[in-house]
Structure 1
Amino acid sequence: MKSFQVKKVAVLGAGVMGAQIAAHLVNVKVPVVLFDLPAKEDPKSGIVIRAVENLKKLKPSPLGVAADAELITAANYEEHLALLGECDLVIEAIAERMDWKRDLYQKIAPHVALHAILASNTSGLSITKLSEALPEAIKPRFCGIHFFNPPRYMTLVELIATPTTQPQILDDLEAFVTSGLGKGVVRAKDTPNFIANRIGIAGMLATMKEVDNFGLTYDVVDDLTGKRLGRASSGTFRTADVVGLDTMAHVVKTLQDNLDETTDPFYGSFGTPPVLAKLIELGHLGQKTKAGFYKKVGRDVLRFELESEEYVPGGQKADEVYGRMLRKPAAERLKLLRNSTGPQGQFLWAILRNGFHYAAVHLASIADTARDVDQAMRWGFGMKQGPFELWQEAGWLDVAKMVQEDIDAGKALSKAPLPEWVFKGPVAEAGGVHTAEGSWNPSKGRFEARRSLPVYQRQHFPELLLGEAGPKFETAGTTISEDRNLRTWTLDGEVLIASIKTKMHTLSPEVCEGLMAAIALAEAEYQGLVVWSGDEPFSAGADLQALLPAFMAVGVAAVEDAEGFMQQMMLRLRYANVPVISAMRGLALGGGCELAVHSARRVAHMESYVGLVEVGVGLIPGAGGLTYIARRAAENAKTSTGKDLLPFLTEGFTAAAMAKVGTSAIESRTIGYLLESDLIVPHKDEVLFVALNEAKALFRAGYRPPHKRLFPVAGRDGKATILGQLVNMRDGGFISRHDFHIASLIANVVTGGDVDPGTLVSEEYLMTLERQAFCSLIEHPKTQERILGMLNTGKPLRN
């Protein structure tokens, strides 16, 4: 059977969601045509053209690099409907109006390719009702696809079938969305607002109701319901501002219009909160209008006050006693909150109880299994744990009894009892809904395993829920050697894997020693070495804290020895006789960036952020990062007809001197930390799979390391040019004197120092310059101030 391939996508609707979905398709190299209504004036695709141009201005950016906006083809329904026939997937993303969507389907139906999937991006409209406007030939290829905003960054995509959707269509789309777009797919039932918004918006409404009950302010509530509670750092009201208060009101209205007391026993809590109605009336729609529950004035963040309809000073924090409670183990935490006498503790218990209650009552109607609910809340609302996970961790039956007691006492939002399966049968006996056998399906009365589509074979270590069985990278495969710094192991006996175990995967001398040993073992017995540490970050750089005691005891000589050893390790990586692959997720900063650039290849998750950031602590890259910049400039210049090295050096010098970090793997490629030959992987859990296969492919193709060779540098002339620009920046007040000093040292290294332009040098020569500059800075009082400031506050100190 021929596999479904998505070679081109059409997105219908150039509004906020449609344009950003198109942007993400471009990020993952899928050609996309973006449609909207014809403009009244020329050009007729002007609505789309303006929407695409606006993508470049949005923060956080929906595009990996802003210039890629030009890859989106602008189209309109009057002139370009024939282009739909070239598309394998058509995503409708126009406004949430049933009548508008159905009218559009009738217009496009004759032009949709016979094999193409048509999917509606809606946050809650009935997919089955939408399908009624389609010809019988398209109905089997139609479904719902609900992206969360912003589509580039939010993991969750909900897929919703109609009674006529072919099962294979959903399987094909799930495979593309998972591997091609890098998303986490949950299949939802065709009920109002599906899973995540049904649970999440009901939870936000319940939270707002409890805020009024306990008389708390929005900033205190956000402090309580953010990271302290294991949820998104934006908490409740900042999240609403980010989502958009008009969007939230629309989702609330979907609940109000499509449910009632008989279909949802919590319906009485679905009234539009007065504060939400008032803010919308005032035109304060959240972040997009620069005012919502919060408003930023200068550096001050103000919060809205309903009584006065004015903004008042914000920034209040929760009582720290509840912060300490929230750090307790789950069982102790919930009991402490339930028994607390203060309003903040009572509020926290109330919203958690309401969440457990609502999820249990509605599980059978909105989802197939409890897994779908917990994954949806993790991926769509930024929760560390879904409601069922937390409930299970805290003691299933103990929590169930506390919730039911509150229901019986009239303290809950609804009188609906917890379902019988909560207290009796397999769930009660297993102590929760997630087991090694699978997750609870209340409709079938059994635990159900995950879907085993072929695409999931690419995920060696998928994200697991509490209680689920599955391999864990910390213990998987065959361990070859392990200590507290590094584990070397293999999954298949063909490629060796090195996993750094230090905090933030920093590079200590012990880690470097372990990596050197891993390279030697890989050369002797394996086809390659993959550096992959399982979770984020890839590496936050050298372990400065580990160097300080040696510096204090022995002096700068200890630092020079450590830097020299790290440089040796980088060269060992580069010239290893088997391919070394850096498999990157999250941050790759400083030494982490240097490790990556000295590898044979890089396989990076799209949301990898790479850069040489040592300037932030008053240092320069000291483990070969500047040497890499100089070498790459020489290699790039070699392909040019010009002889001047400086133009090829400028980007790298600026990136290091300004501590520039790529805001995506795509941007890191434009800076030069990733190359065109490197692979960018949309799904974080596929990075290891791709890296292992890349190592094998290189080995089987007869991999040989690059030859060691000398290369030309810009010399004293190039250095003088750079210093002239730095003097202007210093004298103009754009950089401090210490910034100037650091940048001058960087310039000295990347140009090769006091040598003639075009002088041929070795990597070792430049690394010596790096090491000397690094050590001179670590003795500098202002650099020491920056290092201590970063260690104490986690923030760069400018001095």
Structure 2
Amino acid sequence: MSQLRIRKVAVLGAGVMGAQIAAHLVNANVDTILFDLAAKEGDKNGIVTKAIANLGKLSPAPLAAKDRAAAITPANYDQHLELLQGCDLIIEAIAERLDWKKDLYAKILPFVAPNAVLASNTSGLSINSLAEVLDESLHHRFCGVHFFNPPRYMHLAELIPCAKTDAAVLEGLESFLVTTLGKGVVYAKDTPNFIGNRIGVFSILSTLHHTAAFKLGFDEVDALTGPLVGRPKSATYRTSDVVGLDTMSHVIKTMADTLPDDPWKQYFKAPDWLQALIGKGALGQKTGAGIFRKVGKDIQVIDLAKQDYRPATGEAAPELVEILKIKNPAEKFAKLRASSHPQAQFLWACFRDLFHYSAFHLESIADTARDVDFAIRWGYGWNLGPFETWQAAGWQQVAGWIAEDIAAGKSMSDAPLPAWVTDGRNGVHEAAGSYSPGRKAVVPRSSNPVYQRQRFPDAVLGEVFSPGETVFETDAVRMWHDGDGIAVLSFKTKMNTVGDGVLAGIQQAIDVAEKDFQGLVIWQTKEPFSAGADLSGAMASLAAGKIAEFEAMVATFQATSQRIKYSLVPVVAAVRGLALGGGCEFQMHSARTVFALESYIGLVEAGVGLLPAGGGLKEIATRVGLAAGPGGDVFAGLKPYFEAVAMGKVSASALEAKELKLARENDLVVFNQYELLYVAKQQAKALAESGYRPALPARQIPVAGDVGIATFKMMLVNMLEGRFISEHDMEVSTRIATVLCGGDVDRGSLVDEEWLLKLEREHFVALAQMPKTQERIAFMLKNGKPLRN
């Protein structure tokens, strides 16, 4: 089969999931039609247009840029089915009713193009049962594609073939999901709830059971099952509120209805208290109350004994916190099991039953243990999947404990552990691959060519990827390469902050790259790209009264940015996560930036009473001035930049960074963070192969001058009088305006980059010496949030 090319997609169903899937498709520049029933009154597309309008109100935002909503084409089944004929992929995302889905398939079947792929976003219904209504000719291009909610942010997409799905269709669809939509794809067998929800919902059910058994409060359990054990802050019961208690109850009922032979089936029922909350309309976050509710600023939790809410004050006992701090997993689990504290017994019981259930069902629901661990990590946000956790804790030791508990009647089921668990193995993951009970062998990763784009894919426990050949390494940075002519520089500091060591490392790396390589990529082994300058180190110089040393450090920062900009080989920034302050300035000076979609970019120095002085304001003034040209309206171009910098705005995505103009139009956005390094290296190579030369230094930059400064000041005075900003905000913003406008010179004056850099330095150093700025910096370093003074 020829390569699967997907130009246009139809999403059937404009409910919560369907609308958000459509949003993520247009985020990725995929032409998308969103269908639903025709409205009974008014505009026939009313149901869909309302759903599209609602996308802008949701949090977290499904749209990476608000204007993307207009790219979704609304349609209804009564008038527009012929539009399906131009679609290469059709994703059905209507309610979880087998009869409704089959009725819809029968309706659309005459309009499905001969080579189009049809996929259901069902979260757990049988794909083979859904295929029954389809014409035989469509079976080879029908499958399940289960996105997790919210689709923009959750990495997991489960791909579920039916009995006759063509392997080439699956491979092409997998490539589209991975590269275009940025997903981590896991193949699931056609069993109820597939992998993620089968294991994830069981984990919640076992937590429900043990909460009651150990008589713990819901807030207490959430304190135990969140970050302390490597899981999201929303833990168990807050997650249930976010998902919706009615949805939770529905998923539990689906398990009860479709898994009558499961050895744990007696637990597949919603507890009475859950049904009571649903009966009262307390469905969780969407109704304002569920297991938890917010009253003013206070969080309250339901108290079953009192049948009322009380303050949520539950926490992990000190004894348990000490156990969970133990770095050695084997020692940690041994102490957890041995402890008589109810919280420790509760946690051990939850882990034991999760391990037991996952091992018992592995062969029936997935090909390998890797699929289960990735499904839970990517779909539920856990740091480690169940098999990884078990293996890290000592496979045979834990297996023995589980067997003991089964024999003693302590586990939720007396089903025996599968024989492969106790065959002498040390785990299920190793360098060669992950264990498959069905194949009775270790299975390597997928050979789909799309994964050649992932130099460092997300690794399971036991997997090791070559770190590349080191060129040089210091305490602050490492420069390495793969023998392809492109060097990579990574920072080693906390939050990849920038201090003297990083500045020296960047300059050294460019020197080496100009001599021995075609290009240089700045890429971090993990998020963020950079949280900006190392404020604590910088302020130490000021506190010691070393003003000249402090100013020299600022000059070195600027010189490093300029070194990036005027390097004789292309320097490409590969950005994911935060790129704040100096991190943002470095990417602004690179020959090109490749952003992961979830990149949060901003010049945020105003929040600590400073202004950008790593060349950021200089770069803005240069870009705007050169674009306006002699006699042009420089001020108009500066205005949006000024607002972004003075307010310390941070983009909510890479696409929004382009709107804020902190990213350039020719900068690239990739949707899969694991492809970021590959794309950045390809860009560096392409620039080098095309005879890259840096731009000539800008020596005649038109500026807005004194008139521009005065105009900005008028805006600020109005804000000060309206109490929207403080006196110190006024001071900081005035200095930002002064640098952006090129200083106190005539409007239209021509300056060079050195002039603008000198202005940056002078105003930065002046602000840094002010008591109110120093208060802001100290508060930020201590509390991690800005002070308004």
TM value normalised by structure 2: 0.98
Show the counterpart of 1:346: 345
> Which amino acid counterpart does residue 563 of structure 1 have in structure 2?
V
Residues 12-23 of structure 1: pairs in structure 2 closer than 5 A: 12-23=12-23
Show the counterpart of 2:199: 199
CA contact (8 A) 2:320 2:343 kept: yes
CA contact (8 A) 2:490 2:524 kept: yes
1:750 matches 2:740: yes
Q: Which runs of 5+ in 2 are unaligned?
A: none
Show the counterpart of 2:608: 617
- Distance in 2, matches of 1:670 and 1:195, equals 39
Deviation track 1:200-241 (CA, whole Å, cap 9, x = no partner) reads 101101101111111211222111111111011210011111
Residues 46 and 370 of structure 1: CA distance in aligned 2, closer, same or farther (over 3 Å): same
- Distance in 2, matches of 1:282 and 1:791, equals 45
Greater CA drift, 507-516 or 581-590: 507-516
1:467 matches 2:462: yes
> Which amino acid counterpart does residue 432 of structure 2 have in structure 1?
E
Deviation track 1:424-478 (CA, whole Å, cap 9, x = no partner) reads 1xxx33x00001221111112111111110000000110110112x414xxx222
Show the counterpart of 1:212: 212
Residues 86 and 309 of structure 1: CA distance in aligned 2, closer, same or farther (over 3 Å): farther
1:508 Cα deviation from its structure 2 partner = 1.1
1:688 matches 2:688: no
Percent of matched pairs sharing the same residue: 52
Among 278, 289, 299, which residue is 1:280 paired with? 278
Show the counterpart of 2:68: 68
1:636 Cα deviation from its structure 2 partner = 3.6
SS of the residue corresponding to residue 145 of structure 1 reads strand
Greater CA drift, 561-570 or 757-766: 757-766
1:572 Cα deviation from its structure 2 partner = 1.1
Show the counterpart of 2:334: 335
TM value normalised by structure 1: 0.97
Show the counterpart of 2:26: 26
1:291 Cα deviation from its structure 2 partner = 1.7
CA contact (8 A) 2:626 2:702 kept: no
> Which amino acid counterpart does residue 320 of structure 2 have in structure 1?
Y
Among 758, 768, 774, which residue is 1:778 paired with? 768
Greater CA drift, 544-553 or 162-171: 544-553
Alignment RMSD: 1.3
> Which amino acid counterpart does residue 312 of structure 1 have in structure 2?
R
Q: Which runs of 5+ in 1 are unaligned?
A: none
- Distance in 2, matches of 1:208 and 1:769, equals 62
CA contact (8 A) 2:11 2:34 kept: yes
1:704 matches 2:693: yes
- Distance in 2, matches of 1:755 and 1:284, equals 63
CA contact (8 A) 2:595 2:654 kept: yes
SS of the residue corresponding to residue 533 of structure 2 reads coil
- Distance in 1, matches of 2:109 and 2:460, equals 41
Greater CA drift, 737-746 or 92-101: 737-746
- Distance in 1, matches of 2:547 and 2:157, equals 53
- Distance in 2, matches of 1:367 and 1:174, equals 17
1:269 Cα deviation from its structure 2 partner = 1.2
CA contact (8 A) 1:615 1:659 kept: yes
- Distance in 1, matches of 2:321 and 2:282, equals 31
SS of the residue corresponding to residue 137 of structure 1 reads helix
SS of the residue corresponding to residue 311 of structure 1 reads strand
- Distance in 2, matches of 1:684 and 1:766, equals 35
- Distance in 2, matches of 1:636 and 1:96, equals 54
CA contact (8 A) 1:576 1:705 kept: yes
> Which amino acid counterpart does residue 530 of structure 2 have in structure 1?
S
Residues 193-592 of structure 1: pairs in structure 2 closer than 5 A: 193-260=193-260, 263-328=261-326, 329-424=328-423, 428-429=424-425, 431-468=426-463, 470-472=464-466, 476-592=467-583
1:543 Cα deviation from its structure 2 partner = 1.0
- Distance in 2, matches of 1:308 and 1:24, equals 44
> Which amino acid counterpart does residue 746 of structure 2 have in structure 1?
D
Deviation track 1:84-128 (CA, whole Å, cap 9, x = no partner) reads 111111000001110000000001111111111100001111111
CA contact (8 A) 2:214 2:342 kept: yes
CA contact (8 A) 1:629 1:653 kept: no
CA contact (8 A) 2:629 2:702 kept: no
Deviation track 1:284-313 (CA, whole Å, cap 9, x = no partner) reads 222222222111222111112334443222
- Distance in 2, matches of 1:638 and 1:458, equals 41
- Distance in 2, matches of 1:109 and 1:251, equals 29
> Which amino acid counterpart does residue 506 of structure 2 have in structure 1?
L
1:638 Cα deviation from its structure 2 partner = 3.8
- Distance in 2, matches of 1:302 and 1:507, equals 42
CA contact (8 A) 2:596 2:676 kept: yes
- Distance in 2, matches of 1:319 and 1:735, equals 44
Show the counterpart of 1:729: 719
Greater CA drift, 559-568 or 762-771: 762-771
Show the counterpart of 2:595: 604
- Distance in 2, matches of 1:380 and 1:302, equals 27
1:771 Cα deviation from its structure 2 partner = 1.1
CA contact (8 A) 2:220 2:316 kept: yes
SS of the residue corresponding to residue 745 of structure 2 reads coil
SS of the residue corresponding to residue 677 of structure 1 reads coil
- Distance in 2, matches of 1:738 and 1:354, equals 57
- Distance in 1, matches of 2:773 and 2:38, equals 58
SS of the residue corresponding to residue 138 of structure 1 reads helix
How many pairs does the alignment contain? 787
CA contact (8 A) 1:337 1:348 kept: yes
Show the counterpart of 1:654: 643
Deviation track 1:667-702 (CA, whole Å, cap 9, x = no partner) reads 001001111101100000001100011011111112
Show the counterpart of 1:593: 584
SS of the residue corresponding to residue 137 of structure 2 reads coil
SS of the residue corresponding to residue 34 of structure 2 reads strand
Show the counterpart of 1:113: 113
- Distance in 2, matches of 1:505 and 1:212, equals 44
CA contact (8 A) 2:4 2:169 kept: no
- Distance in 1, matches of 2:636 and 2:218, equals 52
Residues 638 and 135 of structure 1: CA distance in aligned 2, closer, same or farther (over 3 Å): farther
SS of the residue corresponding to residue 10 of structure 1 reads strand
- Distance in 2, matches of 1:561 and 1:290, equals 54
> Which amino acid counterpart does residue 572 of structure 1 have in structure 2?
R
Show the counterpart of 2:787: 797
> Which amino acid counterpart does residue 450 of structure 1 have in structure 2?
R
Show the counterpart of 2:655: 666
- Distance in 1, matches of 2:233 and 2:736, equals 37
> Which amino acid counterpart does residue 270 of structure 1 have in structure 2?
F
- Distance in 1, matches of 2:601 and 2:379, equals 26
Greater CA drift, 598-607 or 500-509: 500-509
Greater CA drift, 94-103 or 711-720: 711-720
- Distance in 1, matches of 2:578 and 2:322, equals 29
Show the counterpart of 1:142: 142
Greater CA drift, 56-65 or 776-785: 776-785
1:48 matches 2:39: no
> Which amino acid counterpart does residue 370 of structure 2 have in structure 1?
R
- Distance in 2, matches of 1:762 and 1:276, equals 68
CA contact (8 A) 1:205 1:273 kept: no
SS of the residue corresponding to residue 729 of structure 2 reads helix
> Which amino acid counterpart does residue 680 of structure 1 have in structure 2?
V
- Distance in 1, matches of 2:663 and 2:627, equals 14
CA contact (8 A) 1:590 1:611 kept: yes
Show the counterpart of 1:128: 128
1:675 matches 2:664: yes
